[in-house]
Amino acid sequence: MKKTTKLKQLIHSSQLSYLMEAHNGLSGKIVEEAGFQGIWASGLSISASMGVRDCNEASWTQIVDILEFMSDATSIPILVDGDTGYGNFNNARRLVQKLEQRNIAGVCIEDKQFPKTNSFINSHQQPLADITEFCGKIQAMKDTQKDDDFMVIARIETFIAGWGLEETLKRAEAYRNAGADALLIHSKRSDSSEIEAFMNEWGGKCPIVIVPTTYYKLSADELENLGVNLVIWANHNLRSSIQAMKKISQQIFQEQSLVNIENSVVPLKEVFRLQGTEELQKAENEYFPNS
Ligand code: SPV
Ligand code: MG
């Protein structure tokens, strides 16, 4: 089955589905091996792993290069965090073209302005996109995709930027009518009250995606009961790897020896396994026997 079709089915499934964050080919593979059915290519995590801020400091082609490695390394669908589409409708539709060429299953764009700022930084000062302009962007993206199953998800930042339910519902209706396949409703509250209020009014008119980074205390049952279709664990491979890398760097720096750490890191053979070294050895035997 095509990756696009897999993501479409996940989004439309009657069961709650989950995407796990990855930010390069390696973390993508780890997400797939853990059992997840899809990957969130997080803008925050990719930018952080490149050592830059989450405000479009990395160019869109630099991001697409990373996505190509992620897509080649995995067989589950990738939903890309497309920020604001890197410009106007024209930039956004070219992004769709380039993502489809790399076998990406879908893209999510948010109704803010380029260059964007992460939703958890000075969120009340973040200007939203004009509704009509954003609808044109969604339409241009949907009109550009060659594969009917490629997903364009519209992310609504009203709650993040300090607006209420009314403005959220107005935008949700407009973006759905413009052709969005699903809506991502973002919230920075520590509880799910904004999401619940939206879900009560929305009435299942199209699939809903959430990112419970700040309302992380919800149990699996509580998430299920919200009635949303897709949950994104948005940055947890990045955050866990920062913790692991800090710990090991500090310890090796202090001890100036590897004696105490060898058994707390994965063996090199695990690195080689993740890289698919065995396949190359078999190929060498077949194609290059005297090497
Ligand atoms: C990301 O993972 O980059 C996101 C989600 O866009 S958030 O960081 O919550 O804005
Ligand atoms: Mg992002």
Q: Does residue 81 line the site of ligand 1, with CB under 6 A?
A: yes
| pLDDT of 20 higher than 70 | yes
Tell me how far the alpha carbon of residue 269 lies from the centroid of ligand 2, in angstroms.
Answer: 34
**DSSP state, residue 112:** B
Average pLDDT over residues 6-23: 97
- Ligand 1, atom 2, lies closest to the CA of 42
Tell me which residue has its CA closest to atom 5 in ligand 1.
Answer: 234
Q: What is the pLDDT of residues 32-48, one digit of tens each?
A: 999 999 999 999 999 99
Atom of ligand 1 nearest to the CA of 21: 2
Given 54, 81, 83, 111, which residue is catalytic?
Answer: 54
Judged against a pLDDT cut of 90, whether residue 257 lies above it is answered with: yes
What pLDDT score does 136 carry?
Answer: 98
Task: Tell me what the mean pLDDT of segment 19-44 comes to.
Answer: 98
Distance of CA 78 from the midpoint of ligand 1 (Å): 15
* 123, pLDDT greater than 90: no
> Does ligand 1 have an atom closer than 6 angstroms to the CB of 42?
yes
Tell me which DSSP letter residue 29 carries. H
Ligand (nearest to CA of 215): 1
pLDDT, mean of residues 134-159: 98
Cβ contact 82:151 at 8 Å: no
Question: Hunting for tokens 């077949």 — which residue is that?
Answer: 286
Buried b (16+ CB within 10 A) or exposed e, 69-96: ebbebbebbbbbbbbbbbbebeebbbbb
Please write the tens of the pLDDT for every residue from 60-78.
Answer: 999 999 999 999 999 999 9
Return the residue matching tokens 């076998």.
103
43 CA distance to ligand 1 centroid (A)? 6
**Is the C-beta atom of 49 inside 6 A of ligand 1?**
no
Is residue 47 within 6 Å of ligand 1 at its C-beta? no
For residues 162 and 123, give the distance between their C-alpha atoms in angstroms, rounded to a whole number. Answer: 8
54 is catalytic: yes
Mean pLDDT of 231-248: 98
Cα–Cα distance between 17 and 15 in angstroms, integer?
6
Q: What angle do CA 105, 233, 131 make, to 5 degrees?
A: 65
Please tell me the predicted confidence (pLDDT) of residue 245: 98
Is any atom of ligand 1 closer than 6 Å to the C-beta of 46?
Answer: no
Q: Is 213 in the pocket of ligand 1 (CB under 6 A)?
A: yes
What band does 82 get if pLDDT is binned at 50, 70 and 90? very high
Contact indicator for 213, 173 with CB cutoff of 8 Å? no
